[in-house]
Amino acid sequence: MSALVLRAGVPQRGVELDLEVREGRVVALVGPNGAGKSTALGLAAGTLRPGSGQVHVAGRRVAGEGAWVPPHERRISLLAQEPLLLPHLDVLANVAFGPRARGAGRRAAQEVAQARLEEVGAAGLAARRPQRLSGGQAQRVALARALAPDPHLLLLDEPLSALDVDAAAELRQVLRTTLREAGRTAVVVTHELLDVLALADDVVVLEAGRIVEQGTTTEVLSRPRSGFGARLAGVNLVLGEREGPDGVRAGADVLHGLAGGEEATRGRAAATFSPRAVAVHLDAPGGSPRNVLPVRVTGLEQQGALVRVRAATASGTRLAADVTPASLAALGVAVGQDVLFVVKAAEVDIYET
């Protein structure tokens, strides 16, 4: 059964979505700023009316022509970047608020609240007021509050972005336990690869108000088919047309690699390879490497112990190479300089798109 079917649009925002979330799955919704992620959450939660199409939650039509179910009747919980706890109530009462609003008695609501606080590792905070909580503690309580009404679907809008590194790591593990391992259904908006790896069964990539890629987390990260998917996976991506049995052409750029047993010689295809597989040269290297791409350096960034050299070909293909600071110093590479990117065919993955 589908927990959420969202086939709806908001024309004034340039958003048109066709999204389905299966029951018991955690879906990471990713994409650049302005791609439509918040619009998707608003359509699901009921804080935004669709201009076209319809929305179903747990098989019930909640939005569309002639239908509108208000947010509080959709059995959906939202966990935002900020906890937004009620300051005049203690932690236990904050978490019990949802069950009470659904008609549970005081004792029953408190029992549910205590159970959810235990689940997120915050049982010892029950008697505190929100102002006495750290950021990580408050977000744990907010998660317990979101779980307490037993929602059909949990929406999480970058829930870790306001936390420091240590608190985010702890809450990420709590989310993995309470969502993915517990078999709950959720949509998580995030920009972080660690969130995707820890939490998501599936990944949906939005760009310019459209879904451009979706699949299991393994599928999207191992064989991305969109620019944002490639950046999330940390690989170079070249999209183009098949060039023979083992190549991809994008404009004047041709890359050869391993086709993984695919026999197609025509049609749309992608080539991916790690920035660490790219060697940077000032002059043509010796031997006969199959992939030698003339590029102009557009930027230099520190990437851990390496330096990421960002560059573009004359056809506009954007690529990156990760090299050691010593190698970069020896080459004397600077922004605006023309260099050669060289990558072995064995390091390039070729597949259909």
Which are the contacts of 20, defined by CB distance < 8 A and separation ≥ 6?
Answer: 2, 4, 5, 6
- pLDDT in the model for residue 263: 64
Number of neighbouring beta carbons within 10 Å of residue 178: 21
Q: How far apart are CA 336 and CA 6, in angstroms?
A: 45
Structure tokens at 21: 């979330």
Q: Give the angle subtended at the CA of 179 by the CAs of 174 and 182, to the nearest 5°.
A: 105
**% of the chain with per-residue pLDDT over 90:** 94
- pLDDT in the model for residue 289: 85
Is 78's pLDDT higher than 80? yes
> Which of the residue ranges 45-59, 70-84, 262-276 would you say has the lowest mean pLDDT?
262-276
3-class DSSP assignment, residue 91: helix
pTM above 0.95, yes or no: no
CATH 2.40.50.100 fits domain 235-352: yes
CATH of 2-222, one of 3.40.50.920, 3.40.50.300, 1.10.630.10, 2.40.128.110: 3.40.50.300
Task: Single out the residue of 43, 36, 46 nearest to residue 7, CA to CA.
Answer: 43
**16-36 confidence digits (pLDDT tens):** 999 999 999 999 999 999 999
Structure tokens at 32: 């650049």
Structure tokens at 185: 């259904």
Mean pLDDT along residues 286-309: 93
Q: How far apart are CA 320 and CA 232, in angstroms?
A: 14
Positions of CATH 3.40.50.300 in the chain: 2-222
Positions of CATH 2.40.50.100 in the chain: 235-352
Tokens 């991809």 -> residue: 248
**113-146 confidence digits (pLDDT tens):** 999 999 999 999 999 999 999 999 999 999 999 9
Q: How far apart are CA 107 and CA 120, in angstroms?
A: 20
Contact 147, 179 (CB under 8 A): no
Task: Single out the residue of 343, 331, 255, 342 nearest to residue 300, CA to CA.
Answer: 331
Is 291's pLDDT higher than 90? yes
- pLDDT in the model for residue 94: 98
Contact 167, 134 (CB under 8 A): yes
**% of the chain with per-residue pLDDT over 70:** 99
